[in-house]
A and B are shown apart, each in its own frame.
Chain A
Amino acid sequence: MRYILLICTEEASDQAMSPAEGEAQMAQYMKFGEEMGQRGVLLGGERLRPTSDATTVQVRNGEVLTSDGPFAETKEQIAGYYAVEAKDLDEAIEIAAKIPGASKGSIEVRPIWEY
Chain B
Amino acid sequence: MTGDWDLAEECAQDAFARALERWPRDGIPRNPGAWLTTTARNRALDRLRRVARGATKLQEVAVTSRAHDGDDEHAEPGLDDSGVADDRLRLIFTCCHPALGREAQVALTLRTLAGLTTSEIARAFLVPEPTMAQRIVRAKRKIRHAGIPYRIPPDYLLPERTGSVLAVLYLLFNEGYSATSGAELVRVGLCAEAIRLARTLSELMPDEPEVAGLLALLLLTDARRAARLDAAGDLIPLEDQDRARWDAAAIAQGLALLDGALRRGQPGPYQVQAAIAACHADARAAEHTDWVEIAALYRELARMVPSPVVELNRAVAIGMADGPDAGLRLVDALAASGALAGYHLLSATRADLLRRLDRHVEAAAAYREALALAATDTERRYLARRLDESLAAAGT
Contacts and interface: CB of A to CB of B under 8 A. Distances in A.
Contacts of B2: 1, 88-89
A86 B99 contact: no
A88 B148 CA distance: 6
Contacts of A111: 145-147
Given A88-B1, A88-B2, A90-B157, A1 B99 contact: no
B138 to A, nearest CB: 15
B149 interface: yes
6 contacts: A1-B147, A87-B1, A88-B147, A88-B148, A89-B99, A90-B149
A3 B2 CA distance: 14
B153 interface: yes
A90 B147 CA distance: 8
A91 to B, nearest CB: 8
Highest count of chain A CB atoms <10 Å: which of B146, B148, B149 = B146
Contacts of A89: 2, 97, 99, 146-149
Contacts of A3: 147
A83 to B, nearest CB: 15
A5 interface: no
Nearest to A2: B147
B153 A90 contact: yes
Assign chain B's interface to a size class: 10 to 19
A89 B100 CA distance: 12
Contacts, number: 29
A57 interface: no
Interface of A: 1, 3, 86-90, 92-93, 109, 111
B93 to A, nearest CB: 10
A43 to B, nearest CB: 15
A93 B157 CA distance: 11
Given A86-B147, A111-B145, 11 more contacts: A1-B2, A87-B1, A87-B149, A88-B148, A88-B149, A89-B2, A89-B146, A90-B149, A90-B153, A92-B147, A109-B146
Nearest to A110: B146
A102 B1 CA distance: 25
Interface string B156-187: 01000000000000000000000000000000
5 closest pairs, A vs B, by CB?
Answer: A88-B149, A1-B147, A89-B147, A88-B147, A89-B148
A24 B146 CA distance: 33
A59 B96 CA distance: 43
A1 B3 CA distance: 13
Interface string B195-234: 0000000000000000000000000000000000000000
The winner among B2, B145, B147 for most chain A CB atoms within 10 A is B147
Contacts of A88: 1-2, 147-149
A111 B145 CA distance: 7
A111 B147 CA distance: 8
A1 B2 CA distance: 9
A92 B157 CA distance: 14
| Interface core residue of A86, A87, A90 (most chain B CB under 10 Å) | A90
Contacts of A109: 146
A3 B99 CA distance: 15
A89 B147 CA distance: 5
A1 B145 CA distance: 9
A111 B1 CA distance: 13
A61 B99 CA distance: 40
Contacts of A92: 147
Interface string B322-336: 000000000000000
Contacts of B145: 111
Contacts of A1: 1-2, 147
Q: Give the interface centre of A3, A89, A92, A111 by most chain B CB atoms within 10 Å.
A: A89
Contacts of B147: 1, 3, 86, 88-89, 92, 111
Nearest to B145: A111
A89 B148 CA distance: 5
A109 B148 CA distance: 12
Contacts of B146: 89, 109, 111
A93 B1 contact: no
A100 to B, nearest CB: 21
A97 to B, nearest CB: 11
Interface string B132-153: 0000000000000111110001
